[in-house]
Amino acid sequence: MKLHREGYGIMLGALVATLGLSALNYWGFTKIDSLILFVFIELVLFTFFLLIVQFFRVPTRTCPYGENDIVCPADGKVVVIEETEETEYFKDKRIQVSIFMSPLNVHANYFPISGETTYVKYHPGLFLVAWHPKSSTDNERSTVVVKHKSGKEILFRQIAGAVARRICYYAETGSPAKQGEEFGFIKFGSRIDLFLPLDAKIDVKIGDVVKAKLTRIGTI
């Protein structure tokens, strides 16, 4: 496991704040002389710092699937599987699979298939809760489309939520995409939407807890 580069500044700031508050807590202990209160505050500060660090963990995982498999791009829980109209790029019917990422999940995001990156666009927006019906169209988000060697395309969208305040993405139009390689990061969680061809075989169901690179969403 490693820590993600997107979190270096935040983790450093959290460490400085934790140490500063800890020093202040010790100064208060010398004035009040309450060991129980001192230990309680130290535990709260230590827990706060550990929570910040765990947001940016990136576990070491292999991607054991084949070229026609659609690999899960994020840790989380499947909250939507439905046929819907995709209005930004395809402008036709697709199967939407949505994965909700809680603040306790790993927040790195990975390419679900290999191919060519044919479309990348960032949309500034609001920070509605991730399950809000308009979050996929009104929230801060990024859209990436990868064209498989079969000619089929998959669209996946990072969507910010009420807690997430910054979407990071590294995919570029025209660049190769490799299944299981990182394409982005959402700070503090939110949601990933996948829009798949109507003839895609879906292997997950609503309520499934899924893992990036380890769970197969389906086949293209």
Catalytic residues: 190
Tokens read off for 89? 């790029």
CA dihedral 206, 124, 189, 17 (to 10 degrees): -170
Spatial distance between the Cα atoms of 7 and 13, rounded to a whole number of angstroms: 10
Rounded CA-CA distance 175/43 in Å is 47
| Burial (0-12, 13-18, 19+ Cβ within 10 Å), 102 | middle
Contact 114, 179 (CB under 8 A): yes
Measure the CA angle with vertex 79, ends 73 and 83; round to 5°.
Answer: 90
* Residue 14 tokens, joined: 């959290």
